[in-house]
Amino acid sequence: FLWQEGHTAHSTKDEAVKEAEQMLEIYSTFAEEFMAVPVLKGLKTASERFAGALETYCIEALMQDGKALQAGTSHFLGQNFAKAFDVKFATKEGTQEYVWATSWGVSTRLMGALIMAHSDDLGLVIPPKLAPIHVVIVPIYKGEEQLAQIAEYAMQLKNELQQKGLTVKFDDRDTHKPGFKFAEYEMKGVPVRVAIGPKDLANGTVEVARRDTLEKSTISGGEAVEHIYGLMDMIQKNIYAKALKHRDESSHYVDDYDEFKRIIANEGGFIYAHWDGSAETEELIKQETKATIRCILLDQKKEDGKCIRTGNPSKGRVVFAKAY
């Protein structure tokens, strides 16, 4: 079980708030730019925030099954814990004051997010920026002589790709057939697979397969290194774009409670709806639909409306979803 966590103490409220917000940005950047998982940045409601915190900042991701996953949190703790545990600092004036504190963390649920956001029925789909192996080279041969010839060709390609900073595996195991290896590395989510057979050797080509789209192409040996290197950025961006498209297509603006219940029950996804701000209404919606308020967006648009459940006045939409 892996956990990344931090606690900080500050002399002012503003410093502590900036720290909490900065950590949210770091988590958001990691999720989107490395994991290729688009996230919403927001604040938890009073009912959902960390016990004792004055504010809980969060990033929320949408999985392929339409459920939300809280992917990271950052808490502004105010002086509550400092007073509870008598944590003080010495001021320039020589007095002692309680610190303003934050805490923040992510855990192995990020691995769950990576799997649930991108994988398919063949196995994992790992973004290149996180892939332990970027490229696997599989030889297709009959006999030791062919293997030796292909291995020489493959090792040259491997070395040139490694010089580009990529991690490359040449799988010359004679205990498994190429088809088994193809399926194995698809299951493991290796971004690019290269197959080299006798025909490729004769023609000076390689077969390149992308894990994200399953597309195959025949590339000349002289262009292979640059082509494969360029694929890394393309695959990273495509995986993110696919996840973002899914989120956009699974996001609904709803003003009718019957429609709200229907979407939650049958489709899932994020629902942007008005809420009157009361914990009672929040709990009522949760009991009736199993949907919770995932966050109040940091960039929430001020919009007068009526609460989806009570009809009471609302100043803006919040994000509802069923969640893990």
* Extents of the domains making up the chain: 3-118, 135-234, 251-319
Beta strands in the chain (DSSP E): 3-10, 39-43, 55-62, 68-78, 88-90, 96-98, 100-107, 135-139, 168-170, 192-196, 205-210, 216-220, 251-253, 270-274, 292-297, 305-306, 313-314, 317-321
Third-level CATH fold of 251-319: Translation Initiation Factor IF3 (3.30.110)
pLDDT, position 322? 98
Q: How do strand 96-98 and strand 55-62 relate by DSSP bridges?
A: unpaired
* Mean pLDDT to the nearest integer, 217-225: 97
Beta-bridged to residue 251, according to DSSP, are 270
Q: Which of the listed CATH numbers 3.40.190.10, 3.40.50.800, 3.40.50.1110, 3.10.580.10 matches domain 135-234?
A: 3.40.50.800
Domains 135-234 and 251-319 share a fold: no
For the stretch 110-161, pLDDT in tens is 999 999 999 999 999 999 999 999 999 999 999 999 999 999 999 999 999 9
Rounded distance between C-alpha atoms, residue 22 and residue 20, angstroms: 5
Mean pLDDT on 58-63: 98
HSE-CB at 205 with a 13 A cutoff on CA atoms is: 9
* Average per-residue pLDDT for the chain: 97
Quote the pLDDT of residue 1: 62
Examine the pLDDT at 91 and tell me if it is beyond 70. yes
Around Cβ 84, how many Cβ atoms within 10 Å?
A: 10
For residues 23-29, average pLDDT: 98
Euclidean distance between CA atoms 250 and 238, whole angstroms: 18
The 8-class DSSP code of residue 126 comes to -
Which of 296, 306, 307 shows the shortest CA–CA distance to 270?
296
pLDDT of residue 2: 74
In order of 49, 134, 251, 267, the CA distances from 262 in angstroms are 27, 42, 14, 8
Does the predicted TM-score (pTM) go above 0.85?
yes
Looking at domain 3-118, which of 3.30.43.10, 3.90.700.10, 3.40.1620.10, 3.30.930.10 is its CATH number?
A: 3.30.930.10
Neighbouring residues of 131: CB distance < 8 A, sequence distance ≥ 6 = 167, 189, 190, 191
For 306: left if phi > 0, alpha if psi spans -120 to 50, otherwise beta; the answer is beta
